[in-house]
Structure 1
Amino acid sequence: MTGEAAARRLALPERTVGSRVVVVARAQRAEDYNAVLDVLLEAGIRSVELTLTTPGTFDRLPRLLERYGDSADLGVGTVTDTDQLARAVDAGAHYVVTPITSTAFVAQATEAGVPIIPGGLTPTELFASWSAGASAVKIFPAGVVGPSYLKDLRGPFPDIVAMPSGGVDLDSAGAWLAAGAVAVSVGGPLLGDAFRGGDLGALRDRAAAFVAVAAQEAA
């Protein structure tokens, strides 16, 4: 890691770090965000990644920030090119997430003053992003390796800030946090069928269960 990159590294938003759970909201359309976010925040979720695979996310983001931005961090995820990253920054995203390793993305986001969490799986990929000044690295897909992988990574990279994503369920969330993850990134195991007309009461219960696991590991 260069001294310059370390000096420019931006911290993750405080609510994301404090809550230790990031919900990946992959909806069929952006109009469906509100009902689900209402329930998530009520259950104690304080960080939501809005994915660009959901049509209309950029158009919807200003209204979502106005409604929820004082209570939760709203990031933009599935960023795969520089134009998307620039739009996320301009729209006011609290952080950006990408599934790939790109030191150019890290530099662009850092220069814009927005924390970035780039994805990777191998030690080379993860350390490349961390060395470039990423706020944290996303171990993706985390289900392929499991929580012990983070313990192994911390041998050569003791200071790396990591977040698992992809395949993290309620049973493994606590193990990832115990292994040193700054937070867990959770999608389907928490959201279930909520974006397809599912029971929002059940969604509230699932979200509350993840919040409880995160709080237990933080104690």
Structure 2
Amino acid sequence: MDLTAALRSRRLVAIVRGDNPQAALDTVLTLVDEDITLVEISLSGQDALDVIAEARAALGPDAPLGAGTVLTSGDARAVQRAGADFVVTPALCEGITTAKELGLPVLAGVMTPSEIVAGLRLGADALKLFPAAQAGGLEYLRALRGPFPEVRFVPVGGVDAGVARDCLAAGATAVGVGSPLIGDAAAGGSLEALRARARAFVKAVAETEGEPR
């Protein structure tokens, strides 16, 4: 898949991790039904590889489907076998190199300028600015855009609908959202409440002014 084009087009990556595999799968399918079509299933969730495989079967071969918390070469190979077609890492790690060798695009986790440069050298397609809120949030993103105007940043961590709108307006290519969007749905919570949150995020993204980077 063309991850860069998908991030620029969709502008929102939903992060699903949960201790209930069926609820996690239902969460993924509900998000897609609500037009949040870039979804990352974290390997830190229970039976995550099975959830990825079942989501791939349910969504079909052409739907974008990501795997998160990919750290090792073994992780990268396992998520490809399960059906993921893009990889998300929390840091710079060997999973990036292996994923690229396998032909999987990568959203790589970084924080410092040195890590940004290293991530680009490793071939990351976009850079996950993590944990965004704890590192200064919007002002830090704006500061980074000075020396790195062409880098595709995706802030993750503490991003609610309002922060998502602000980050996108400040030059982020997309945002990654976990608990403010997912809530308790991946643990068996209300899917109707998830739908309401999903619609609020879709609306916030649609209201963002300016062209994506």
Question: Scaled by the length of structure 2, what TM-score is found?
Answer: 0.90
Aligned 8 A contact 2:29 2:55 in 1: no
- In the alignment, which residue of structure 2 is the partner of 1:52? 43
Alignment of 1:88 with 2:85, yes or no, is no
- In the alignment, which residue of structure 2 is the partner of 1:34? 25
Q: Give the C-alpha shift of residue 55 in structure 1.
A: 1.9
Report SS of the residue matched to 2:41.
strand
Report percent identity of matched pairs: 39
Aligned 8 A contact 2:24 2:185 in 1: no
Q: Give the C-alpha shift of residue 77 in structure 1.
A: 0.3
Report SS of the residue matched to 2:151.
coil
Flag structure 2 segments of 5+ consecutive residues without an equivalent. Answer: none
Q: Give the C-alpha shift of residue 96 in structure 1.
A: 0.5
Q: Give the C-alpha shift of residue 218 in structure 1.
A: 5.6
The C-alpha deviation readout for 1:20-76, integer Å capped at 9, x for no partner, is 111100111322223222321222111111011112111232221121245742100
The C-alpha deviation readout for 1:120-147, integer Å capped at 9, x for no partner, is 2111112210232100011100111212
1:1-219 equivalences in 2 (<5 Å): 11-12=2-3, 14-69=5-60, 72-102=63-93, 104-144=94-134, 145-217=136-208
Q: Give the C-alpha shift of residue 100 in structure 1.
A: 1.0
- In the alignment, which residue of structure 2 is the partner of 1:7? none
Consecutive aligned runs of 4 or more in structure 1 exceeding 3 Å deviation: 13-17, 69-72
Q: Give the C-alpha shift of residue 188 in structure 1.
A: 0.5
Distance in 2 between the 1:29 and 1:176 partners?
A: 31
Aligned 8 A contact 1:117 1:138 in 2: yes
Distance in 2 between the 1:97 and 1:165 partners?
A: 11
Distance in 2 between the 1:126 and 1:96 partners?
A: 17
Change (3 A) 1:88 1:218: farther
Residue type at the aligned position of 1:46: T
Report SS of the residue matched to 2:107.
strand
Aligned 8 A contact 1:50 1:75 in 2: yes
Question: Scaled by the length of structure 1, what TM-score is found?
Answer: 0.87
Flag structure 1 segments of 5+ consecutive residues without an equivalent. Answer: 1-9
Aligned 8 A contact 1:45 1:211 in 2: yes
